[in-house]
Structure 1
Amino acid sequence: MAKRKNKLSKALDARYKVVVLREETFEEKAAFTGRLWYWITGAVSAAVILVIFTIMLIRSTPLREYVGGTSLSGYERGRLIEAYARIDSLDHMAQANEIYLNNIRAVISGEAGETMEQVSRQPIGDQDNAVIADSEFGVGVSADELALRELVESGAPYDLPENTGSTRTGISSYTFYNPIKGIISSSFNPQEQHYAVDIAVKQHEPVRATLSGHVVFASYTPETGYVVIVQHGNNILSLYKHCASIIKKVGSFVRGGEVIAFAGDTGELSTGPHLHFELWHNGNPVNPTDYIAF
């Protein structure tokens, strides 16, 4: 045993020379000398360093998914799920905003929406929770919730449903303000696509909001002159056309009975001072005289 150890020690301590020669002329270009255990130690150290570097490279880059087949960490998986949830939420919000804007466009152009049966088959979010698109008063908050919040803060109870102890029964559960005093010159007639009541009044008579809500449109159109559209709770819209002037801006919160414009004779379709008043619920026109005593 002692002889073997002595022989191994001599072998490790023996000096070796590594020479680099040129193939054509056998000219010596480089030479490295050292004991055998130097060479073994160097080779092992280089191999260990290479292995450590490779492992660090794989663990710190996406290569770990392809090489090791490892799954995401708990934190990364949570971040990924959160990102997908946000994308899905933004997609639903964009769809709701698109539906809402299409509804506004249809109302402005005087086009009736889907039937009540079709509306009842839509998702709940499309019926009773119209999303307000204006960032000034909260993207993603329903008009119903926002209007109710404003009412609670102001302490004004007049637009709440009459039967507050039970579930809402729809548009009939609201108490509407008369938008203006005058004589009805043209009644609601869906067969003739007249989805409004025309009220003959004096020039510059004040026009009042029929319910509390937010102004979503306040501008001039060639056919109907100055137009104001107010979004109320429960997906109710009220329209006031042919106004002489408007005193509210888009995004403004108005209370029921508050003056929002003045009656006039603007627009190509006007034949005299009057207010063209429309009431829409879930994208469909309703007869204002069913809910308001003019």
Structure 2
Amino acid sequence: MENTQGKKAFIKKIRHKYRLAIFNEQSYEEVFRVRLSRLNVFTVVSFSIVIIIGLVTLLIAYTGLKEYIPGYPSAKQRVLMVRNASRVDSLILEIHKRDQFVKSIQTVIRGEVPESIEQEDSSPTNADAIESAKLDNTQRDIEFRQEVEAEEKFNLAVLDDKSKDLKLNQQYFFPPIKGIVVNKYNESTNHFGVDIVSKPGETVSAILDGTVIFTGWTVETGYVMIIQHGSDLISSYKHNSKLLKEMGSFVKAGEAIANTGNSGELTTGPHLHFELWYKSAALNPEEYILFE
């Protein structure tokens, strides 16, 4: 009973009307008046606060004022963050592709068969197709493949004169650089090229038309460029100070591709280490090119 009376008294109290009047200070004339209750005041103030909070939130969310909030990145910073994240993803993909390419080149040089990238797909459909293809191979096909692989096995030996393609003798090789050969080709010491000394920063040229299949840096040989030419011919240029072409670029014979330098650990001074490979076998460059 007492609780009910207390509630009624409280409701009556907050609904009790008050008059708010504004008078002129000099004439005491009533200028403005309004009747209010405590409930009216509380309702109006609460509603006003809600509206103000909503308007401030919208103003911050859809205008540039949010950039002045401590810890909130600006529009330029957000664009840079998104751009950098995209670049990082692209770099990771390019590094993966480069590693796969270098691994394939190293595998071919060692005389092994490179693994196909498609074999990385481990889905049941591809696995079943591969297994089915293996079952279809006859014993005769396997023996024939073994014979071909044995005949075409890669090695690091010089080609015999009888096995040399006559087209090589008919080719005109543009000298990669003019200079003095200080270290000749020597198969017994695994020196599968020639070292040519010239002025530091001298322009290195492509010996034939071809496509750049590798550009990069190695600890031992510094800046390296490898070019694939026609007729299974590959030329390699090592210890450069600067590379002028990117991987995948097509170059013409005599076109500038690099500058000589002294990069890498296996060097004693500015020079160019040049190698010539034909069908995965090393050739003596001095038999085909005049360097002086």
TM-score normalized with structure 2 length: 0.46
TM-score normalized with structure 1 length: 0.46
